Chain A
Amino acid sequence: MSQVKTTINRRSFLKVSALAGGGMMISFSWLAGCTPTPEEVLTMPKEWFELNSYVKIGENGTVTLMSPNPEFGSNVKTSMPMMLAEELDIDWKKVIVEQADFYPERFNRQFTGGSQGIRQGWKPLRTAGATARQMLVNAAAATWNVPANEITTEAGTLHHKASGKKAGYGEMASKAAKLSVPKEVTLKEVKDFKIVGNSKKNVEGLNIVTGKPLFGIDYKQEGMLIAMIVHPPAFGLKLKSVDDAAAKSMPGIKDIFTIKTLPDDYERSAFDTAAFTELVVVVGNTTWEVMNAKKALKVEWEEISDSTMVVNGWGGKETVKIPKGLESTSVHKAKMAEWASKPGKILRKDGDPEAMFKKAAKVLERTYTAPYLAHNTMEPVNSFAHVMADKAEIYGPTQAPEFVRNTLTARLGLPKEKIHIKLARMGGGFGLRAYGHHMVEAAVISQKLNAPVKLVYSREDDMTYGIYRPTYSATYRAALDENNNLLAFHVKAGGIPETPAHANRFPAGAIDHYLAEGWEIESNITIGAFRAPRSNFIAGAEQSFLDELAETMGKDPIEFRLELLNRAKTNPVGKDNDYEPARYAGVLELVREKSKWTEAQSNVHRGVSAYFCHNSYVAEVLDIVIQNNKPVVQKVYAAVDCGVVVNPDAAANMGEGAIVDGIGNALYGELSFENGVPDKNNFDKYRMIRHSEAPKSIEVHFVKNDIDPTGLGEPLFPPIFAAVANALYKATGKRSYTQPYIKDLNMSSFKM
């Protein structure tokens, strides 16, 4: 058992304010069934007693647990309350889960992204549950006049064995709520978990399958107007003039105007990304009317000039240059290709790689590239805002409410406490919704109109707005001696506008002579976090190269990786290697066993890949068969080490999803530019993976251990790109170096 100091202070215990109590949706976590039996329908208590920010207990024993983080589909709304419930020791069937509003004084780290929700919530949420439990125990001890340490709990009931006394949590809740907060509590040991580690159905399941208004785009309020924006059709353009004469008189149109969302000299955070700060706004009664009016606008655009802006990002303040010009993919490609033969900025160097390359008997050199990608969350960008003279209400999809609140404060001239952000369920996030421009736009529009407004982007507005996964390129080189021993390894990776290099990740630490370099090319096309930023490219490049390198060296690709990992474990090179070789090897061994890698498979073309990111380890094997002269992904095996798995079935679901998503992006994902204009603006042109193209089956295996949980939403995504490439190579005999791979496939013939 571990003793933890409770950091929950008195302030967290203040009576629920009107704001915090007003959760928008209530979900009932009844069992799998759809029509709840009478026992499954929770009766609402007459009164709630708040034990801390996360836990309210009714006099009848019903428990409300607050889910702090924004939900974008990783099912934290189920798994975070499970962590609370575990330590609180309650019956999951008696739980109501409520989405918390953004309220940083009450809740810990309300941010969804970087696969950190469960990892960083692990201690605080369990502590909150354990603290509430201890207060109930203390209340019973005082009531029964027995020592607190003789009281045990089980499924929402307090017991005192010696006296035979027994009470439900509900009976002790009012008394417990008045007690002081224990300074220290004991957390359970993993082996004693009853809820964590046992799959629970999505608490929002029934609301989802019955079409309840869960999403920002579904929100409606009395007197609310609909707003849409028109942004420049190309990066490198800005607004010159608008002729709205025809549009203004169209049915249902209330107003047309332009807005400036951020002052030019505004010091932006890393999540204030926006290429287009001056927008045309059309406001009307309904979306359809506004969409039509947008088409009747005559807007003139002009080219931007070179500029700089100050961004207060992760690495501190930075001045970022925004070059003028209308950029094209053909030029991007040529510029990136130049870097293959130019030295980059050295990020890490071990030994003397130059000397080794000079004396090498053989050098394997390959360059990998990938295009820009659009997030394409199924719910388009939207936000509700109602800005009044002295306060603002914002409701919409956001992964990072804290960041956007800072921007809103600056832009609206309202103090932080007066900006109330409610967290809508998001129809997908994948990084996109860490960027809060839509909330700022909605708020500025509402402030101008002095009315509640819902801003909605059309799919076209959404796909052409920016904040893309950058385009990247990486050149790998390996020096071999005459016996095919690996002498040195060199990676040089860059992109527009950022490098995807992770200099201290595998195979750094496993090779004596190692060099990692990075380079960057400026651009006015905006980029942003996209499911496993940087890793989502570099994993595919690295793991494709290792596959080809293993083949060149005459080694089995899994065996080759294990040899390197063994070296990194027993005699690591350098000291900043940011992975644990044993856990890395563990997933490779597990996937080898589960996929029966060593047994010959007839007519199956297999590729393997592995990666470490977001504190978790993943290895994947992907099987392709050829049917009707087309490659079909038959099966994918994944082995994952992310420590304790809180909600295993939901975790597997997310893993399956990341694999499907990754295969789709590897094969089809691509956004190109011609004179600053994105070449795709909707799903007729942007190819997304569909049902028939998904693998026929996926097995996700978790390594069982007691290590504190680490990331899961992202880690299964990056390695799958190389698993696809390596399996396709087996099927076609040709290696793919350029994403999307579909372009190679169209020219391939297949081995049956």
Chain B
Amino acid sequence: MAIFNLTINGKKQQVDVDPATPMLWVLREHLDLVGTKYGCGIAQCGACTIHLGDIAMRSCLLPVSQVGNQPITTIEGLSEKGDHPVQKAWLEQDVAQCGYCQTGQIMNAAALLKQNPNPTDEEIELAMNGNICRCGTYLRIKAAVKSAAKASSH
């Protein structure tokens, strides 16, 4: 066990955990931020996507000991009221079916748009390819990413 000081969603947090604990479980079980989901645990499905600084990261393979002082954003901190352009676009397109994969999809899409505010269809597909949706909502996700890009560019 060791103490780690983390900055999560702009707030200082301290946890006392095994240094190898993936951020996924630190968030879900030590900090009660359960919007970050467990899907595979091996960086294959994207359900656990968070932002480390501005970069989208699979939190299931990110040990807490490697975070250092880089700030972390989770879905709970993406916006205060669920009004980030990507979240708004998701509601507008009514993307979700079961909804389980969607927080990971949204976090990945938000990071993509930060790096590339106007992605082409191919760039969206490529960037989002690591996020599985068994319900098959990919088309609506793409439409939502495009409409968020449009909304942000105005």
Which A positions have Cβ atoms within 8 angstroms of B? 32-35, 72-75, 199, 201-202, 204-206, 208-215, 217-218, 220, 226, 251, 286-289, 376-380, 425-430, 456, 458-459, 649-650, 653-654, 656-661, 664, 682-684, 688-692, 694-698
Contacts and interface: CB of A to CB of B under 8 A. Distances in A.
B75 A289 contact: no
Contact of B34 (A213, A426, A661): A213
Interface string B92-121: 101111111111001000000000000001
Q: How many B residues are at the interface, by size bracket?
A: 35 or more
A696 B139 CA distance: 7
B39 A428 contact: no
Interface string B43-63: 011010000000000000000
B45 A683 contact: yes
Contacts of A649: 94
A380 B38 contact: yes
Contact of A691 (B32, B41, B124): B124
Contact of B75 (A202, A210, A287): A210
A289 B18 contact: yes
A36 to B, nearest CB: 9
Main secondary structure of the interface of A (DSSP, over half): loop
Contact of A251 (B1, B100, B124, B128): B1
Which 8 residue pairs of A and B lie closest in terms of their CB atoms, listed nearest first? A211-B35, A427-B100, A660-B136, A73-B98, A657-B136, A211-B75, A208-B99, A73-B97
Contacts of A220: 32, 34
B3 interface: no
Given A211-B34, A691-B138, A287 B44 contact: no
A288 B44 CA distance: 18
A34 B98 contact: no
B90 A691 contact: no
Given A32-B92, A34-B81, A690 B132 contact: yes
A653 B97 contact: yes
A691 B136 contact: no
Given A213-B34, A691-B129, A664 B94 contact: no
A209 B102 CA distance: 7
Contact of B29 (A286, A657, A664): A286
A205 B96 contact: yes
A684 B44 CA distance: 6
| Interface hub of B1, B21, B30, B138 (most chain A Cβ within 10 A) | B138
B81 A459 contact: no
B22 interface: yes
A682 B37 contact: no
A426 B88 CA distance: 23
B133 A650 contact: no
Interface in B64-106: 74-76, 79, 81-83, 87-88, 90-92, 94-103, 106
Given A656-B140, A691-B142, A209 B97 contact: no
B8 to A, nearest CB: 13
A637 to B, nearest CB: 14
Contacts of B96: 73, 202, 204-205, 208-209
B125 A430 contact: no
Contacts of B22: 288
Nearest to A655: B136
B87 A215 contact: no
| Interface hub of B18, B106, B126 (most chain A Cβ within 10 A) | B18
A660 B44 CA distance: 19
B7 interface: no
Nearest to A454: B29
B99 A656 contact: no
A654 B131 CA distance: 19
Given A205-B91, A251-B18, A379-B100, A691 B76 contact: no
Contacts of B138: 660, 689-691, 694
B35 A210 contact: yes
B76 A653 contact: no
B98 A211 contact: no
23 contacts: A34-B81, A73-B99, A75-B97, A205-B96, A208-B96, A209-B91, A209-B103, A210-B75, A211-B34, A211-B76, A427-B37, A428-B98, A430-B134, A459-B41, A649-B94, A653-B140, A657-B136, A659-B136, A683-B40, A683-B132, A684-B40, A689-B138, A690-B130
